[in-house]
Structure 1
């Protein structure tokens, strides 16, 4: 018991319970170390005043991306622990902890709604679920999203965030790389747009497969994007890497991503791309191209 507890009158501490002061009321910006009020952070789409784009859950990503209402699609079930894996904890216990933490069954979430008026399938990879690692469930989630886009003739937008393959599933995890690639081939053959938005971080087998196979690659500012991490590369080559190596802006300069876009500008950017790639004119262009009302058709007597 501290000194403040000793001088606090009986009953007062019960009035102000821990539930009245949530732990995440203030959040520290990793760049500036400034403390940001959580409500202000929400209002700013979880981008700090210093410009750091924080990792966000699928529900927030859907809310920030879609015009309004959207429908979530269930990810198919997969065997939970095919290898009966155990290190310092069992794989089953790790899955249970991740599900309790995120409220979701695995790292992938699928939503269908409109982006700037264009109906689109959106797949969000949740880094909070075991580092967004690519396992069987994530692979099935990607394939389900691609199949939904194919069946409904809709574009697919994928927000990537992953630390690599899920080691607890061994080769079964690595198999998801060619499986997701085949799903992308299906979309390509159908002429359906596939856009990838690279968020922090996108690494490992995800980068080596579906994250770099988009028709267009957009990245959020400051996102770490690569296969192996910079520390591993420095230890391997025994050299200091360039400033900002593997960050969005560096990859844009080197031609590995097409555009770096602030989170608040993403819906408008995606909308423009989707309209062009889907050959759907914007509302303004559509109005300009629309035929005039029947009562304004000229009657010059020259019709046949």
Structure 2
């Protein structure tokens, strides 16, 4: 079990200048809205024990240079549960954030809705959801920090509904609290680490690193820009391929620069999101996050040269939609032999995931810049490419289908694969002539406008 920090200790982890907001004044009858016997006495004991008058403490503070609205839960006050007065404070905090255009950072530790207030307590989740949506629509980021425990409606609204989700090591995280799970439930499934593995949270962050990690995220997510992301400089060969098959072989060369090399060269600092929020991750096939390039923030979604799995496409779509809401330009790096086509990929909704990414790119109002850095295998690659804003490196190719598969479909022998690659017009210079990708002397220096 993780260390159960008090609300004030959690705030001290991330800021030194916290200023508490005035709490809304709601009259309180001794038994609460339901006349629950002993409820008033339980609240009084909770206040005496914790020094707090409600289960959340809300205010403003500076985290590594970024001013934010902070919401810190006090688990010692009736299990950090949400009641009407909690809802009042949360609504006031979100309203304050929008008025001052500040990000919202909930530091969550809660057991869920407060039983002593019945359905009135449960409906506070609707209030929280509404405030979260209004804040999202205002283009303000929400970064949740999951403490121990984060369960019930607090996890299903403030936590899981945030743009970026960080968690302290060993924290209990799950919709079902420890006392309401099936008796045979695996407790390891209800941890911060398990939620990251399932794609439901982005990272586990040690307490001593929380301030710096949170500060990096806040800095990256609060710098909108209308200018498109500059196209990265090619890191491989500058010579154009002679034939279609030469282009294919170059793109498949295991020594060709891959996404990691491009990201390292392009960004001076970056932070990654992880997971599709639907139970999946594809860390080996897709890298997504936000980074700093030339002093401003650029979001990125980068294929790594492997077949991309459904979770990878959904994570990229999540990234693009988040960047779009925040007004951050996007860079995509295309490099995949194609979408994963095994039975598990089909069961995980490969077609729907690719369709969702196509739609996210098509709907984006922020500028999306694409560089083809290797293999461009069919629709599984095209889904990540920006129409009209795609460039290519000399060691890449784009094809409607892999030349080997095209030859097989056409019932040609293996000896005709190379000739088929030529017929498909897959070279970068062919793609420019076709109008599929854009030209640029920074990619093909000194060769003029025609790349033959």
Q: TM-score, normalised by structure 2?
A: 0.48
State whether structure 2 residue 182 is matched by structure 1 residue 182.
Answer: no
Alpha-carbon distance in structure 2 between the residues aligned to 1:160 and 1:262: 15
State whether structure 2 residue 266 is matched by structure 1 residue 266.
Answer: no
Give the structure 2 partner of residue 140 of structure 1: 88
CA deviations 1:125-157 (Å, max 9, x no partner) are 110000001111111111111111101111010
CA deviations 1:209-254 (Å, max 9, x no partner) are 222100001111111111223563333xxxx444612111111111
Assess if the C-alpha contact under 8 Å between 1:230 and 1:245 holds in 2.
Answer: no
Aligned counterparts, 1:1-304, within 5 A: 53-66=2-15, 68-80=16-28, 81-86=32-37, 90-230=38-178, 232-235=180-183, 240-242=184-186, 244-279=188-223
Alpha-carbon distance in structure 2 between the residues aligned to 1:57 and 1:231: 22
Give the structure 1 partner of residue 397 of structure 2: none
Larger relative contact order, structure 1 or 2 (CA cutoff 8 Å, min sep 6): 1
Alpha-carbon distance in structure 2 between the residues aligned to 1:199 and 1:160: 6
Give the secondary structure class of the aligned counterpart of 1:245: helix
Give the structure 2 partner of residue 19 of structure 1: none
Mark the CA change 1:262 to 1:280 in structure 2 (over 3 Å): closer, same or farther. Answer: farther
Mark the CA change 1:83 to 1:181 in structure 2 (over 3 Å): closer, same or farther. Answer: same
Alpha-carbon distance in structure 1 between the residues aligned to 2:18 and 2:54: 20
Structure 2: segments with no counterpart, 5+ residues:
226-268, 270-290, 296-452
Assess if the C-alpha contact under 8 Å between 2:68 and 2:105 holds in 1.
Answer: yes
Give the secondary structure class of the aligned counterpart of 2:60: strand
CA deviations 1:241-284 (Å, max 9, x no partner) are 44612111111111111110001111111111111110189xx9
Structure 1: segments with no counterpart, 5+ residues:
1-51, 290-304
Number of aligned residue pairs: 228
Give the secondary structure class of the aligned counterpart of 1:170: helix
Alpha-carbon distance in structure 2 between the residues aligned to 1:243 and 1:61: 25
Assess if the C-alpha contact under 8 Å between 1:230 and 1:241 holds in 2.
Answer: no
Alpha-carbon distance in structure 1 between the residues aligned to 2:46 and 2:59: 21
Alpha-carbon distance in structure 2 between the residues aligned to 1:243 and 1:166: 23
Alpha-carbon distance in structure 2 between the residues aligned to 1:194 and 1:247: 21
Assess if the C-alpha contact under 8 Å between 1:53 and 1:263 holds in 2.
Answer: no
Alpha-carbon distance in structure 2 between the residues aligned to 1:276 and 1:133: 32
- Pick which of 185-194 and 272-281 moved more: 272-281
- Please state how far the C-alpha of 1:195 moved relative to its aligned partner: 0.8
Assess if the C-alpha contact under 8 Å between 1:62 and 1:111 holds in 2.
Answer: no
Larger Rg computed on CA atoms: 2
Runs of 4+ aligned residues of structure 1 deviating over 4 Å after TM superposition are none
Alpha-carbon distance in structure 2 between the residues aligned to 1:230 and 1:69: 35
- Please state how far the C-alpha of 1:69 moved relative to its aligned partner: 2.1
Give the secondary structure class of the aligned counterpart of 2:181: helix
CA deviations 1:16-45 (Å, max 9, x no partner) are xxxxxxxxxxxxxxxxxxxxxxxxxxxxxx
Alpha-carbon distance in structure 2 between the residues aligned to 1:215 and 1:259: 13
Mark the CA change 1:243 to 1:183 in structure 2 (over 3 Å): closer, same or farther. Answer: closer
